[in-house]
């Protein structure tokens, strides 16, 4: 190190600077700075450890991150709950009157929870019903397509790398871009209708028919995100030991049986991750569907998050209290869903 | 040879950045010349963004102490983002707004700072009430950058190609519906009539059918016989092929949906929109086909459209009210505002100019004729139309109507159910505002 320094000095004096020397010089300076800082922190940390004990030091290290989470996650959560028991259109809490459970009473005032039309705030319940429908369809389609794709991409096929990249590419796009591209394809004079009319068919108004609108919402969502889930499953497939398949091959086990008895059970942890993530994504869906269908026709693709956004921001009387109450309700549903999901996973793992 | 670093410009730049970063909206001072920076939030329907930028440049040349930073945003941001900004006290110094009544409480009363408040009263007086909070009869928050009137644009070429005679003045909505349907069938276009998915457009029709919107006490009483007649027409036109569900039926909530593109592509026979479209149609349609603006069709009650517009207003939270007033005084002065209206092809929201008439020098004959039709229709406005435009919670009514009629059009709910929901939506939101 000392020798190198003398070399560096002579080079610098000669004013012929070149990068390796600069790099080493920078490294040395960095070593000194970091080392100095470490020594500076070391003394108080050792003292603290002596005072509170080694095991409690873990909490000290967790504290900065916890403070960060509290500020940006827990505090907004609490503020949201407080907003949900207030009314009016003011933004600052100090200007908002306390209304108790008024917003919740309004949201949950229903003749029958299975019939949104019987509810006082029918848009909220239509959003709930649509979100559940969308999530169910999307979950099934996402798991089926990403699993099939992962299994195929795990085989020794030609241009495997190319296909993996192609399937992953849509994940890199912004949801708004994805929705706009598909909107251009699906609109009255879009690519799809141009193709249909060229083949002698009639134009289909995809965004006017509720069934088609929901179908394309699910399709676009699966198209855009399938690559991500495929990647998770592909990693899971590659982690399955090859000798298990070799043994099955030697026993002349049929392919379907191999898939059922070896692939699926060993892939289960990855599948659970995919199911949980797809479920959460389904419930959170907003941007893609909002840009693609605007929640229509009527309210047939209005998702719960769009309802919350419009109640809080798009209406003239910005009803932050009602939107906050709907957010809390959504949070509770998500929490319950997650608990159910976890319970199911544990039971499966135990069995 | 080694380059010597010149530290003085770097340090000056650093100091400048620090002042800019920590100074916020405060005036930035460079030596002896103190300059105040004002932020103006602006949206455009056509070319008026370029025109205002040009006018502001001229203002700054003769007012070196003021710099106006023009933030051009989409109309959606004006309706959804700006109100939240204003509620949090973080808004701009000046903003161009459409929902005047809804944002009135954030507006600055310019009177103490104006050179000649009487000029403003005399020329912008009738519209100032749209920008005032209920009970206030004296404040001057800003001026109308455009007065808009709803009304129909017609593709004259399609009528000629179909060999159908265009209904004349005082024709009814039903006359137009049957004529446009005949044209569309003959020339194979998908939209006989297209209405923007907008509360203003709906109430243009509803008031002509006799809707009064308010009870004698001035409280909203939205669903009456006139309203029902208009809603039934919209509903029947959708089911009868006069209107396509692609505008009113396809989106949820209060989302605006226009048919500009469809009209420009000659797919619409009659397009019920508003005077602000003239500038862009003049520019984009050019000689592709002949288009005309026609007087608003009549209903059993009258031939009224709906007034509207956009105002440029000062914002109460500004730290520079005097400078804001100077900018607005300049832009609202007769010569400057006349140039603005003339270059943007807008109906003037200035009484003196409206009386004298404007010379739209750069406009085509079609645009000039359309401006004349819309300007003349100001005299046809029914009292209910003006009352609704001036009502501070008008957007509550507009949003409820679009949302619920849209659901009925898409077949999700029955019209009677829509009427009940409109009444309850309006009542709920107004009660929420009252808390």
Q: Which pLDDT belongs to residue A32?
A: 85
B residues 188-207 lying closer than 8 A (beta carbon) to A: 190
Instruction: Note whether A210 contacts B: Cβ–Cβ < 8 A.
Output: yes
Task: Give how far Cα B197 sits from Cα of B163, B202, B277, B408, Å.
Answer: 30, 8, 15, 13
Q: In whole angstroms, what is the distance from residue A281 CA to residue A276 CA?
A: 9
Sequence-distant (6+) residues with CB within 8 A of B346 are B48, B145, B146, B147, B148, B275, B276, B278, B279, B340
Nearest of B240, B258, B236 to residue B248 by alpha carbon: B258
**Which residues of chain B have a CB within 8 Å of the CB of A188?**
190, 246
Pairs of residues, one from chain A and one from chain B, whose beta carbons lie less than 8 Å apart = 119
| Chain A residue at shortest CA distance from B88 | A91
B residues 56-95 lying closer than 8 A (beta carbon) to A: 79-81, 83-84, 87-88
Other CB atoms closer than 10 Å to residue A141's CB: what's the count?
A: 17
The pLDDT-based confidence of B189 (bands split at 50, 70, 90) is very high
| Chain B residue at shortest CA distance from A291 | B251
Tens-digit pLDDT profile for residues B252-304: 998 899 999 999 999 999 999 999 999 889 989 988 999 999 999 999 999 99
Other CB atoms closer than 10 Å to residue B156's CB: what's the count?
A: 16
**Which residues of chain A have a CB within 8 Å of the CB of B2?**
15
Q: How far is B407 from chain A (nearest CA, A)?
A: 4
Interface test with A, best of B252, B393, B421, B433 (most A CBs within 10 A): B252
Region B353-381: mean pLDDT is 90
Instruction: State the helix-helix crossing angle for B415-434 and B394-409, rounded to 10 degrees.
Output: 150
Torsion of CA A50, A56, A60, A62, to 10 degrees: 160
The pLDDT-based confidence of A84 (bands split at 50, 70, 90) is very high
Cβ proximity of B83 and B103 under 8 Å: yes
Interface test with B, best of A183, A290, A300, A317 (most B CBs within 10 A): A317
Instruction: Note whether A188 contacts B: Cβ–Cβ < 8 A.
Output: yes
* Residue matched to tokens 């505090």: A75
**Pairwise CB contact (< 8 Å): A207 & B252:** no
Instruction: Note whether A35 contacts B: Cβ–Cβ < 8 A.
Output: no
Q: Which pLDDT belongs to residue B127?
A: 93
**Which residues of chain A have a CB within 8 Å of the CB of B432?**
87-89, 317, 319, 321-322
Return the DSSP state at B296. P
**CA dihedral over B275, B277, B282, B288, signed as positive or negative:** negative
The pLDDT-based confidence of A351 (bands split at 50, 70, 90) is low
Q: Which pLDDT belongs to residue A21?
A: 66
Say if strands B94-97 and B33-42 run parallel, antiparallel, or are unpaired. Answer: parallel
Sequence-distant (6+) residues with CB within 8 A of A9 are none
**Pairwise CB contact (< 8 Å): A295 & B252:** yes
Cβ proximity of A126 and A299 under 8 Å: yes
Q: How far is A94 from chain B (nearest CA, A)?
A: 12
DSSP collapsed to 3 states, chain A: CHHHHHHHHHHHHCCCCCHHHHHHHHHHHHHHHHHHHHHHHHHHHHHHHHHHCCCCHHHHHHHHHHHHHHHHHHHHHHHHHHHCCECCCCCCHHHCCECCCHHHHHHCCECCCCCHHHECCHHHHHHHHHHHHHHHHHHHHHHHHHHHHHHHHCCCCCCHHHHHHHHHHHHHCCHHHHHHHHHHHHCCCCHHHHHHHHCCCCCCCCCCCHHHHHHHHHHHHHHHHHHHHHHHHHHHHHCCCHHHHHHHHHCCCCHHHHHHHHHHHHHHHHHHHHHHHHHHHHHHCCHHHHHHHCCCCCCCCCCHHHHHHHHHHHCCCCCHHHHHHHHHHHHHHHHHHHHHHHHHHHHHHHC
Q: Which pLDDT belongs to residue A20?
A: 64
Tens-digit pLDDT profile for residues A8-64: 444 444 444 555 666 677 778 888 888 888 888 888 888 999 999 988 999 999 999
Other CB atoms closer than 10 Å to residue A342's CB: what's the count?
A: 12
Nearest of B126, B128, B122 to residue B143 by alpha carbon: B128
CB hemisphere CA count around B232 (13 angstroms): 11
Q: In whole angstroms, what is the distance from residue B381 CA to residue B203 CA?
A: 12
**CA dihedral over B326, B329, B332, B337, signed as positive or negative:** negative
SS3 B74: coil
Q: Regarding predicted confidence, which is higher, A347 or B269?
A: B269
Query: Does B16 have pLDDT greater than 70?
Result: no
Nearest of B27, B115, B97, B107 to residue B67 by alpha carbon: B27
A315: nearest CB among B2, B87, B254:
B254
Region B92-109: mean pLDDT is 95
Tens-digit pLDDT profile for residues A95-129: 999 999 999 999 999 999 889 999 999 999 999 99
Q: Which long-range contacts (CB under 8 A, 24 or more apart) does B178-183 make?
A: B180/B242, B180/B269, B180/B270, B181/B240, B181/B241, B181/B242, B183/B158, B183/B159, B183/B269
Task: Give how far Cα A2 sits from Cα of A5, A23, A33, B102, B337, Å.
Answer: 5, 16, 18, 73, 76
Instruction: Note whether A105 contacts B: Cβ–Cβ < 8 A.
Output: no
Cβ proximity of B252 and B406 under 8 Å: yes
Q: In whole angstroms, what is the distance from residue B91 CA to residue B106 CA?
A: 9
Region B164-188: mean pLDDT is 96
Instruction: Note whether A302 contacts B: Cβ–Cβ < 8 A.
Output: yes
**Pairwise CB contact (< 8 Å): B253 & A301:** no
Cβ proximity of A94 and A322 under 8 Å: no
Q: Which residues pair with residue B37 across a beta bridge?
A: B67
ipTM of the complex: 0.85
**Pairwise CB contact (< 8 Å): B410 & A120:** no
* DSSP per-residue string spanning B344-372: HT-B---HHHHHH----TT--HHHHHHHH
Q: Which pLDDT belongs to residue B146?
A: 92
SS3 B320: coil
Other CB atoms closer than 10 Å to residue B85's CB: what's the count?
A: 18
């Amino acid at each position: 190190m000392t020798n190198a320094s003398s070399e560096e000095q002579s080079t610098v004096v000669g004013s012929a600077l070149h990068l390796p020397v600069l790099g080493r010089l920078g490294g040395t300076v960095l070593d000194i700075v970091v080392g100095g800082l470490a020594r500076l922190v070391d003394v108080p940390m050792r003292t603290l450890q002596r005072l509170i004990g080694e095991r409690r030091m873990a909490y000290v290290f967790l504290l900065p991150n916890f403070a960060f989470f509290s500020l940006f996650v827990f505090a907004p959560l609490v503020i949201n709950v407080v907003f949900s028991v207030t009314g009016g259109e003011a933004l600052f809490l100090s200007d908002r009157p306390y209304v108790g459970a008024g917003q919740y009473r309004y949201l949950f005032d229903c003749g029958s929870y299975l019939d949104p039309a019987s509810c006082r705030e029918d848009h909220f319940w239509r959003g709930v019903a649509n979100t559940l429908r969308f999530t169910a369809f999307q979950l099934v389609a996402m798991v089926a397509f990403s699993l099939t794709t992962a299994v195929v991409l795990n085989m020794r096929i030609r241009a495997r790398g190319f296909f993996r990249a192609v399937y992953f590419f849509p994940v890199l796009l912004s949801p708004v871009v994805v929705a706009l591209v598909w909107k251009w394809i699906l609109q009255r004079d879009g690519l799809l209708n141009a193709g249909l009319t060229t083949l002698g068919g009639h134009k289909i108004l995809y965004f006017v028919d509720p069934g088609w609108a929901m179908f394309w919402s699910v399709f676009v969502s699966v198209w855009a995100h399938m690559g991500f889930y495929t990647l998770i499953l592909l990693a899971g497939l590659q982690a399955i030991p090859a000798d298990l398949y070799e043994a099955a091959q030697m026993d002349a086990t049929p392919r379907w049986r191999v898939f059922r008895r070896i692939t699926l059970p060993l892939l289960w942890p990855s599948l659970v991750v995919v199911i949980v993530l797809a479920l959460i994504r389904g419930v959170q869906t907003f941007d893609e569907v909002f840009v693609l269908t605007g929640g229509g026709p009527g309210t047939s693709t209005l998702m719960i998050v769009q309802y919350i956004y419009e109640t809080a921001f798009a209406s003239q009387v910005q009803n932050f209290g009602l939107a906050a109450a709907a957010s809390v309700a959504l949070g509770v549903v998500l929490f319950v869903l997650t608990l159910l999901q976890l319970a199911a996973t544990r039971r499966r793992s135990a069995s | 040879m080694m380059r010597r670093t010149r530290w003085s410009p770097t340090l000056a730049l650093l100091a400048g950045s620090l002042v800019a970063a920590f100074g916020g909206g405060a005036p930035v001072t460079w030596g002896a010349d103190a300059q105040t920076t004002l932020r103006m939030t602006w949206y455009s329907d056509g070319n008026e963004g370029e025109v205002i930028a040009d006018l502001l440049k001229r203002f700054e040349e003769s007012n070196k102490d003021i710099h106006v930073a023009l933030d051009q945003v989409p109309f959606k941001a004006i309706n959804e983002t700006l109100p939240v900004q204003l509620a949090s006290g973080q808004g701009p110094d000046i903003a161009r707004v459409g929902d005047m009544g809804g944002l009135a409480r954030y507006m600055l009363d310019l009177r103490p700072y104006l050179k000649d408040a009487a000029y403003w009263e005399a020329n912008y007086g009738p519209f100032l009430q749209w920008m005032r909070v209920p009970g206030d009869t004296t404040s001057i928050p800003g001026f109308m950058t455009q007065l808009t009137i709803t009304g129909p644009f017609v593709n004259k070429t399609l009528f000629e190609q179909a060999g159908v005679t265009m209904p004349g003045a005082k024709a009814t909505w039903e006359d137009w519906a049957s004529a446009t349907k005949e044209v569309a069938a003959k020339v194979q276009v998908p939209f006989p009539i297209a209405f923007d998915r907008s509360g203003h457009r709906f109430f243009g029709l509803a008031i002509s059918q006799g809707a009064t919107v308010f009870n004698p006490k001035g409280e909203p009483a939205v669903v009456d016989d006139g309203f029902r007649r208009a809603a039934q027409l919209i509903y029947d036109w959708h089911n009868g092929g006069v209107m396509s569900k692609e505008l009113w039926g396809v989106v949820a909530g209060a989302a605006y949906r226009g048919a500009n593109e469809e009209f420009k592509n000659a797919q619409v026979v009659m397009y019920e929109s508003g005077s602000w479209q003239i500038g862009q149609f003049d520019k984009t349609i050019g000689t592709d086909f002949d288009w005309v603006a026609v007087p608003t069709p009549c209903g059993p009650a009258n031939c009224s459209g709906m007034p509207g517009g956009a105002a440029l207003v000062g914002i109460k939270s500004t730290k520079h009210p005097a400078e804001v007033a100077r900018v607005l005084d300049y832009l609202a002065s007769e010569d400057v505002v006349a140039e603005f209206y003339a270059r943007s092809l807008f109906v003037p929201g200035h009484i003196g100019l409206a009386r004298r008439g404007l010379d739209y020098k750069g406009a085509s004959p079609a645009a000039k004729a359309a401006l004349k039709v819309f300007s003349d229709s100001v005299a046809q406005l029914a009292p209910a139309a003006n009352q609704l435009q001036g009502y501070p919670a008008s957007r509550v009514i507009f949003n409820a109507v679009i949302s619920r009629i849209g659901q009925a059009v898409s077949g999700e709910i029955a019209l009677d159910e829509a009427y009940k929901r409109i009444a309850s939506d309006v009542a709920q939101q107004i009660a929420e505002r009252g808390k």
